[in-house]
Structure 1
Amino acid sequence: MVLLVGTGIIAAASAHAQMAPAMMQGNAMTATSAPVAYVNGMPPVMDHNSYVHALLDEFEARYSGNGGEFRYDGEGWFGTDYNKLWLKSEGTLGTNGKFGDGDHEALYDRAISRYFDVQTGVRMDIDNGPTRAWGAVGIEGLALYFFNVEATAYFSDRGVAGRLQGSYDLLLTNRLILQPQVELNFYSQSDPARANGAGLSNIDTGLRLRYEWHRKLAPYIGVTYSGTFGQATGLARARGERDLHDLNFTFGLRTWF
């Protein structure tokens, strides 16, 4: 019995030894028919493919005791992991039918680290007010603890402007997410035609609770605040605006692809 078992083992080992060269030859033939460039024994990293991404971060209605307005804020990009073309746009539509706060940007984006990109391009203020054109340079990415931050400087013959933005996704559950958000705008010179004052001109901030019913489609509710400060307050009143500090109930939809 022992001899038979041992003979079987020897026979199996012999058959495996005969098959091994054939298997190795087959692998070699496969590698020859589809060559792959390995670096230090590792397969290549596919980091130069082109991708498209778009995000409609805010698509919402806002209501307060002073009335309501509709607001949108979206962006999209096309490119590789290192170089992208970014398009950004935001604005509001009041109950009077006037389009305001229209900010539209076209930017070249270059990755400078794992978490941050530098961006440069142009910004156009296009709405019911006078059109303004700006050059733009800034930085965008994920700060410590995954805070999404943006800091952008703008320049034109009317001076220098700056914008700081930040947001954070706090996961209450796998699909229920609380997002605080803030945007601050600064100007070196006042622009009465657009009600922009020197210094801190306006703030738009909010706290939104969204439910990702589908990962790419998330309705939300929240509380938002928008207000003007400093010189911008007097300029807005001179234009007949009375709602300078609005606390709003907000509901909307966030989507991306």
Structure 2
Amino acid sequence: MKKLKVVMFLALAGITNCLLAGHAEDDWSEPVKPYRTGQILFDRLEFTRTDNDADLIVWDMLAWYGGDRNRIYFKSEGKNERGDGEPSELESAEILASRLIAPFWEIQGGVGTRGSMASGADRENYLVFSLFGTAPYRFEMDNSFTVNEDGDIAASIEAEYDIRLSQVSYLQPRLEVNAALTDAESHERPSGFNDVRVGLRYRYELSREFAPYIGVYWSRSLGNKADLIRDQGGDESETGMVIGVRMWF
């Protein structure tokens, strides 16, 4: 019986020492000091050929700087149609402050602008709030909510998913949905669901930082936005092929 008590005492002492060893004293230095870093990512930098024989240069990029919890982001999307004599169209350019609120999720807030990149153009300025991160099953999402100077409210959802085919190749479906909660007639954005776009890209990594890709997409205007485009003599749907590169540094 005495031997059993001795063994139990030694076992308890060993467990206690292991538990205490995992806790640092208050005056001990941190094992990993906080630090700041950054990244510039071009998720899409591509040449597009549409079914209407239009040639487009498209970009979708983001840059960030900060630590594990707090960061500053710059996001930009836009396109330029070659040969049409018009300046590039800025779909969005945003500066946001970001805070990590859960594993893989950040809440962001800031300001943005969109419209023609012509000198002196009257662009739309807005406040933007975003929920940015990775949903279960590794869906990368950027959900945003904007309010412009006139109080017009719009929202968008973007989702991507990487299907790994090998160590260096991926198949990536992509979905984008745009909607408006209020009419913004001056910006040709009626209330309701406005656009949906789905795409599929095959990407091959020559290195982690540089990955060319090819793909296809289909987009369609919806509801009141489709009616508006038809009244103007345009096409409410578009299909295209893309070739581009995803790169970061």
Which range moved further: 85-94 or 47-56? 47-56
Higher Cα Rg, which structure: 1
TM-score by length of 2: 0.81
Q: Aligned in 2, Cα 1:195/1:67: closer, same or farther, shift over 3 Å?
A: farther
Structure 2 residue corresponding to 1:89, chosen from 76, 82, 104: 76
- 1:144 is aligned, of 131, 136, 148, to 136
Q: Partner amino acid for 1:83?
A: N
How far the C-alpha of 1:90 sits from its partner, in A, is 0.2
Q: Contact conserved, 2:152 with 2:184, CA < 8 A, in 1?
A: no
For the Cα contact (< 8 Å) 1:104–1:126, is it kept in 2? no
Match status 1:174 vs 2:167: yes
Give the one of 11, 20, 24 matched to 1:39: 24
> What stretches of structure 1 of length at least 5 have no aligned partner?
1-37
Q: Give the counterpart of 1:65 among 20, 45, 51.
A: 51
What number of residue pairs does the alignment pair up? 219
Uncovered stretches (5+) of structure 2, i.e. residues with no partner: 1-22
The amino acid across from 1:200 in the alignment is F
Of residues 49, 57, 62, the one that matches 2:35 is: 49
8 Å Cα contact 1:103/1:125 also seen in 2 = yes
Task: Measure, in 1, the Cα distance between the counterparts of 2:223 and 2:178.
Answer: 12
Instruction: Map 1:147-162 onto structure 2 (within 5 A).
Output: 147-156=139-148, 157-162=150-155
The residue type paired with residue 52 of structure 2 is N
Q: Is 1:197 aligned to 2:190, yes or no?
A: yes
Give, in angstroms, the shift of residue 107 of structure 1.
Answer: 0.3
Per-residue CA deviation, residues 132-172 of structure 1 (Å, 9 max, x unaligned), is: 11111121111111111122111132321111111111110
Higher helix share: 1
Distance 1:234 1:176, change over 3 A: same
Counterpart of 1:112 in 2: which secondary structure? strand
Q: Secondary structure of 2:228's match?
A: helix
Match of 1:251, as an amino acid? I
The TM-score with structure 1 as length reference comes to 0.78
Name the SS for the 1:253 alignment partner: strand
Could you tell me how far apart the structure 2 residues matched to 1:125 and 1:231 are? 21
Percent identity of paired positions between Structure 1 and Structure 2: 27
Q: Distance in 1 between matches of 2:40 and 2:243?
A: 21
Question: How do 1:1-257 residues align onto structure 2 when only pairs under 5 Å count?
Answer: 39-40=24-25, 44-46=30-32, 48-68=34-54, 69-95=56-82, 96-98=84-86, 99-127=88-116, 130-156=122-148, 157-240=150-233, 242-257=234-249
Tell me the amino acid that sits aligned with residue 65 of structure 1. Answer: D
Superposed CA RMSD:
2.1
Amino acid corresponding to residue 197 of structure 2 in structure 1:
D
CA deviation after TM superposition for structure 1 residue 40, in Å: 5.0
- Asked if 2 retains the 8 angstrom alpha-carbon contact of 1:66 and 1:243, the reply is no
On the 8 A contact 2:197/2:220 being kept in 1, the answer is yes
| Superimposed CA distance per residue, residues 20-49 of structure 1 (whole angstroms, 9 cap, x where no aligned partner) | xxxxxxxxxxxxxxxxxx825997253621
